[in-house]
Amino acid sequence: MALITEKPVKVFDLSQIGRGCLIWGRHSTWAEGKTGIVTSAAEDQLVVQYYPYTGNLKDYFTIPVQEAAAGEWEIRWSSRLEEIHMYGTATEDSRTETEDVADGT
């Protein structure tokens, strides 16, 4: 019997998203999403800093890869605002809106 076994795990593709990317995220329990900047990107978690509109404060939220893979997050991100990528439970309306923004219309 082997002491150590290999098994596949879900991880964020850091070639697609990383520190400095603009991001919009909405957890399935939130009424509205939040817009921010990825301040830390690891294979198991993204940390997003956002402005909460209460004075000079900044706040953050984390997106664990397990929750994203389980469909608990809707995520839109862009590194240069030339193309907006989507992941998660987006509705048809938001897909169309995102495609319009990406096309520049």
Q: Report angle CA 12, 13, 15 to the nearest 5 degrees.
A: 145
Residue 95: pLDDT band with limits 50, 70, 90: very low
Q: What is the pLDDT of residues 58-84, one digit of tens each?
A: 899 999 999 999 999 999 999 988 999
**Cα separations (Å) of 49 from 23, 33, 82, 92?**
9, 13, 21, 27
Structural contact between residues 60 and 49, judged by C-beta atoms closer than 8 angstroms? yes
Whole-number Å distance between alpha carbons of 51 and 58: 5
Q: What is the pTM of this model?
A: 0.77
Give Cα 84 distance to the centre of its chain: 11
Average pLDDT score over residue span 90-101 = 43
What's residue 58's pLDDT?
A: 82
